[in-house]
Structure 1
Amino acid sequence: MRLVVVSAGLSVPSSTRLLADRLAAATAGHAAVDARVIELRDLAVEIAHNFTGGFPGPALADALDAVAEADGLIVVTPVFSASYSGLFKSFFDVLEVRDGNALAGKPVLIAATGGTARHSLVLDHALRPLFAYLKAVVVPTGVYAASEDWGSAEGLPERIGRAAEELAALMTGLSVVRRPDQTAVPDQSAVPDQVTVPEQAAPPQTAPPQTGGFTVVPFEEQLAALRR
């Protein structure tokens, strides 16, 4: 299965790329994946040219194809102004303009890095709505790593492991569904040639009751006569 990791880190080295690598390694521990990392900082110029010229350069086109053909995605962005970075958003804007259904039904693990834990809501307030709009299937567990998380013995590794397991399960399940030999074929021998439905007996017709020489006509019959 093809796993594509999109990292929007700008520095070298970057905590964003470090988190991306750890998520990819954890996912590979739960499923057989062929992982590829896309560094958006290497595509920044081509992304800008795509907006002004309307066509992606060769490196950007290759990255867009890889994302569209992947069986699963890991996306990691640094937090800028309490949201994803402009470079991160621009890449997926280009992808959406090129093919609005490129991520439809695709499992996506969302992650972000920031200087303080107070920005952790970026996962649910920015990243999750973005990929829901792109029709992706976002795994339940998102991973946010603040600066203090890297020196902590607890918390971050558990979140990474849980999110990676959820992504691997989704990727494996979708891969099985797509296999043609898994298509269920109904047993024709179990289907009868003809199904006989018993006829229902018509309700007995009763004559209108008579009272004192007068015939009592039910209200339903009077209403039906007026409608003719």
Structure 2
Amino acid sequence: MTTKRIVVISSGLSTPSSTRQLADRLAADADGILRERGFDVEVRTYELRDLAHDITNHLLMGFAPPKLEEVLDAVSKADGLIAVTPIFTTSYAGLFKSFIDVVDTQALTDLPVLIGATGGTPRHSLAIDYAIRPLFTYLHAIPVTTGVYAATSDWGDGGDGVRSLPDRIFRGAKEFADLVERTDRSELVNDPFALDRPAGHLIGGLTGE
């Protein structure tokens, strides 16, 4: 049975957070769809708030501490990425962008990405298309057509004639599953000049232990 590896990134700052809740719902639907199609699915979920100091250290020092290295490695080997961020001042969270900045520029090439975002008001739903989608497109990822935005009011009954949040989650997850099903990243080309240890290990005798 073929295993599909899905990495879920949540950049919510509170605990619990609606950002993590949306991430879990997207992952659960994608997992269910792929399993119905006969795939084994491995889902790894990471809270960026737990890696904030490591991300900052990577930006300052140029190498990833072990916990962050694990996440970066998982992203590079994934068959699909679910990325969810809160919207602050009409765009993605700074923590979310900082994480993307430390991801290898080649790691997202041809990687299906399901974008999710949360915010207090529906007015910021367009941030997915004018801010987040171009970011992943620039990095040669493949964002699915449907991005899922959840405002505070969306966690209710989904009335007033607007497509309900569960419907939008399922639609996005299905489009994502369609791409993941066709994705084969098992033969990623390794850079023959890449270091088998972070560059920081060459500076000052760092051992990473």
Task: Give the TM-score, by structure 2 length.
Answer: 0.81
Structure with the larger RCO, 1 or 2 (CA within 8 Å, 6+ apart): 2
| Counterparts of 2:138 and 2:157, CA distance in 1 | 34
What is the aligned counterpart of 1:116 among 121, 142, 151? 121
What is the aligned counterpart of 2:17 among 14, 17, 23? 14
Amino acid corresponding to residue 29 of structure 1 in structure 2: G
| Counterparts of 1:64 and 1:79, CA distance in 2 | 23
Question: Gapped runs of 5+ residues in structure 1?
Answer: 180-228
1:139-158 paired onto structure 2 within 5 Å: 139-153=144-158, 155-158=164-167
Aligned residues: 175
Which residue of structure 1 aligns with residue 134 of structure 2?
129
| Counterparts of 1:78 and 1:101, CA distance in 2 | 25
**C-alpha offsets along residues 68-88 of structure 1, whole Å, 9 cap, x if unaligned?**
110000000000110000000
Which residue of structure 2 aligns with residue 101 of structure 1?
106
Amino acid corresponding to residue 174 of structure 2 in structure 1: E
SS of the equivalent of 1:135 reads coil
**C-alpha offsets along residues 131-165 of structure 1, whole Å, 9 cap, x if unaligned?**
00010001000000000000124511110000000
Shift of 1:178: 6.5
Larger radius of gyration: 1
Distance change >3 Å, CA 178–CA 49, structure 1 → 2:
closer
Amino acid corresponding to residue 21 of structure 1 in structure 2: D
Calculate the aligned-residue CA RMSD, in Å.
1.4
| Counterparts of 1:152 and 1:91, CA distance in 2 | 34
Which residue of structure 1 aligns with residue 200 of structure 2?
none
Instruction: Could you list the structure 1 runs, at least 4 aligned residues long, displaced by more than 2 angstroms after superposition.
Output: none
Amino acid corresponding to residue 68 of structure 1 in structure 2: S
